[in-house]
């Protein structure tokens, strides 16, 4: 098997990608929905976080990729085997059986030894999440994994449509983990504080709504007209004062 890249080999590239990433306009609403879904289940992710020493939001974005945020799908690969007495048949095969989603999630996280990571910087998040999915993109020579960047300006198209099956024409319909994380950071300030280099270039993925201001017949809004009038009054007062002096 080809050798996996080291963190140092990927670090600068991940940082550069994050700094310029923008969520595609066609995915803004979808990314927002994904982020809000994960946030609504924060308490369940926090249960696993306490048991594994891994941030809840990292568990959440992996869950979104593996099982679309559904709790009938395990964190390993999305298989629906909870409470069935069956073990996984997809990669990684032979895990389980599991009585609850949380039990399965703890197993998946510990299997990858994610609790040993000391500092969750953006580059480290990217590295560990891509490693969780596998290094197929790296081995192909592609610099961007759809697992991370789908739905953003970084995604170059093409994806693995099944384990070890590549389709260069496929477009990943799922939102990338980093696209969803970027929106979680915007919605939950505690996540931004937890990631030391969370700030990035570019505009937020969902612009704040701007109030609609009615315009007058001149095409100028009332606030600008009031400002112009006050300006004129101020100039007149200045002129009067100068004449008196």
> Tens digit of pLDDT for each residue in 202-239?
444 444 443 443 333 444 444 444 445 545 554 565 55
How far is the C-alpha of 25 from the C-alpha of 242, rounded, in Å?
Answer: 56
Q: Are 37 and 149 in contact (CB under 8 A)?
A: no
> What pTM was computed for the model?
0.79
Tokens of 124: 């480290």
**Tens place of pLDDT for every residue, the chain, 245 residues?**
678 999 999 999 999 999 999 999 999 999 999 999 999 999 999 999 999 999 999 999 999 999 999 999 999 999 999 999 999 999 999 999 999 999 999 999 999 999 999 999 999 999 999 999 999 888 887 778 999 999 999 987 666 656 666 565 667 889 999 999 999 999 999 999 999 999 875 444 444 443 443 333 444 444 444 445 545 554 565 556 556 55
pLDDT of the residue at 125: 98
Which residue, 93, 104, 35, 103, is CA-closest to 64? 35
Q: Are 139 and 2 in contact (CB under 8 A)?
A: yes
**CB contact set of 134 (below 8 Å; sequence gap of 6+):** 160
**CB contact set of 221 (below 8 Å; sequence gap of 6+):** 213, 214, 215
CB atoms within 10 A of CB 175: 27
């Amino acid at each position: 098997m080809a050798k996996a890249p080291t963190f140092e080999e990927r670090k600068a590239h991940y940082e550069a990608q994050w700094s310029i990433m923008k969520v595609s306009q066609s995915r803004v609403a979808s990314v927002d929905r994904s982020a809000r879904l994960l946030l609504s289940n924060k308490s369940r992710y926090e249960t696993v976080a306490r048991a594994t020493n891994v941030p809840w939001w990292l568990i959440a974005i992996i869950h979104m990729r593996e099982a679309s945020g559904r709790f009938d799908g395990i964190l390993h690969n999305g298989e629906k085997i909870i409470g069935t007495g069956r073990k996984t048949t997809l990669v990684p095969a032979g895990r389980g059986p599991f009585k609850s989603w949380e039990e399965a999630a703890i197993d998946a996280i510990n299997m990858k030894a994610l609790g040993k990571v000391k500092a969750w910087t953006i580059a480290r998040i990217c590295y560990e999440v891509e490693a969780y999915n596998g290094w197929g993109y790296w081995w192909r020579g592609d610099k961007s994994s759809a697992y991370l960047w789908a739905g953003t300006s970084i995604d170059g198209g093409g994806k693995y449509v099944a384990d070890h099956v590549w389709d260069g024409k496929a477009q990943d319909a799922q939102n990338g983990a980093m696209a969803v994380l970027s929106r979680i950071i915007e919605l939950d300030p505690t996540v931004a504080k937890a990631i030391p280099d969370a700030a990035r270039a570019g505009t937020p993925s969902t612009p704040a709504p701007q109030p609609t201001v009615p315009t007058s017949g001149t095409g100028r809004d009332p606030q600008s007209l009031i400002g112009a009038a006050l300006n004129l009054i101020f100039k007149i007062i200045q002129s009067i004062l100068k004449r008196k002096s």
